[in-house]
Amino acid sequence: MKEIRTTVPGLARKKRAGEKISMLTAYDYPFARILDQAGTDILLVGDSLGSVVQGRETTLPVTLDEMVYHTRLVSRAAERSLVVADMPFGSFQIGVERTLEATVRLVKDGGAHAVKLEGGERVADRIRAIAGMDIPLMGHIGLTPQSVHRMGGYRVQGRGPEGRARLLRDARVVQEAGAFALVLEGVPRDLAAEITGELEIPTIGIGAGPDCDGQVLVIHDLLGLGGEAPPRFVRRYVDLAEIVGKAARMYIEDVREQKFPAEAESY
C-alpha cells in the first residue's frame, strides 16, 4: 500500500533505500499548504521563526505559546508532510516533567506529529523520556542556535579532534536515547558523512554538506526573504523580496494615479 503521508517508519525506509529526505521550515497556513502540496517530506515549525518572522536577533525569546500557535497553523495545512515542532528555549531545560508537558502541548494543541530539541548527551534523559511516551523525537546537534552565547556566535562545530569526538558521542547518544532522526547543523562535511554512515537513523543536514540523508533549509532563505547576506550554505531559488516589493510599488502607483480600483473591481 502506498503511503500518503510521510511517516517516521517511512523516513527510516528512505534512509535504507538511499532516498534523500527533504525538509523545509514553515510557520503559517499558506506557506505550509504550498510546501505540503509540492511534496516536502517534513515541515519543520522551527524556532527560527524568532528571527525570520518576529525579527528578533536570536531564537531565545520564542515562547512555547508562540510555537503551539504556529504549529497549529502549519498542521492545519499539512496533508502529506510530517509536521515537526521545535521545542523553544526554556521548554526543556527545567527538568523532565516540564519537558513532557511542553511536548504534550505541541502534539495535542499544536497538532505536531513529532518534536525536535537541541542538544546531545546533556539532554539524553529528556530525549529518552519523550521517546518513551511514544512521541517521535528529532535530535539537533552541531551549531545549535539556542547555544549562541556559549558558542560566541553562529560558528561551525566539530572542528578539531575534541570537537569531533564530542559530536560523534552526541550523535550516538541521541540515537541510543530513542530519536528517530537527527539534524546536523554547521558541521564539517567529512564529520557529517561519518555520522551519517554510522547511525541507523536518518541525518538531516543544514550547512553540513551533501552526504547527509536529507537536507533542511529555512524557507525564508530559499525564497530570498531572509535579509541581505544569507549564509554560504543557502541556495536562494527565487528573490521574493524583489518580486513582492515590485508588486507593492505597482499597487501604490495605481492607487495614487487612481487606476485602482477599476470599474470592474468595484461593486
Residues taking part in catalysis: 185
Compare residues 62 and 173 and give the one whose CB is closer to ligand KIV. 62
| Min dist. Cβ of residue 255 to ligand KIV (A) | 36
| Min dist. Cβ of residue 157 to ligand KIV (A) | 14
Compare residues 54 and 245 and give the one whose CB is closer to ligand KIV. 54
Compare residues 135 and 212 and give the one whose CB is closer to ligand KIV. 212
Compare residues 23 and 107 and give the one whose CB is closer to ligand KIV. 23
Location of C-alpha cell 518580486: 243
Please state, in angstroms and rounded to a whole number, the distance separating the CA atoms of residues 129 and 115.
Answer: 13
Comparing CA positions, the residue from 179, 178, 230, 175 lying closest to residue 197 is 175
Residue 210 C-alpha cell reads as 551533501
Please state, in angstroms and rounded to a whole number, the distance separating the CA atoms of residues 143 and 230.
Answer: 16
Contact positions toward ligand KIV, by CB under 6 A? 25, 44, 46-48, 86, 140, 183, 185, 206, 216, 218
Please state, in angstroms and rounded to a whole number, the distance separating the CA atoms of residues 4 and 44.
Answer: 18
Query: Whose CB is nearest to ligand KIV?
Result: 46
| Min dist. Cβ of residue 125 to ligand KIV (A) | 21
| Min dist. Cβ of residue 214 to ligand KIV (A) | 11
Q: What is the DSSP string of 163-224?
A: HHHHHHHHHHHHHHHT-SEEEEES--HHHHHHHHHH-SSPEEEESS-TTSSEEEE-HHHHTT
Please state, in angstroms and rounded to a whole number, the distance separating the CA atoms of residues 151 and 110.
Answer: 31
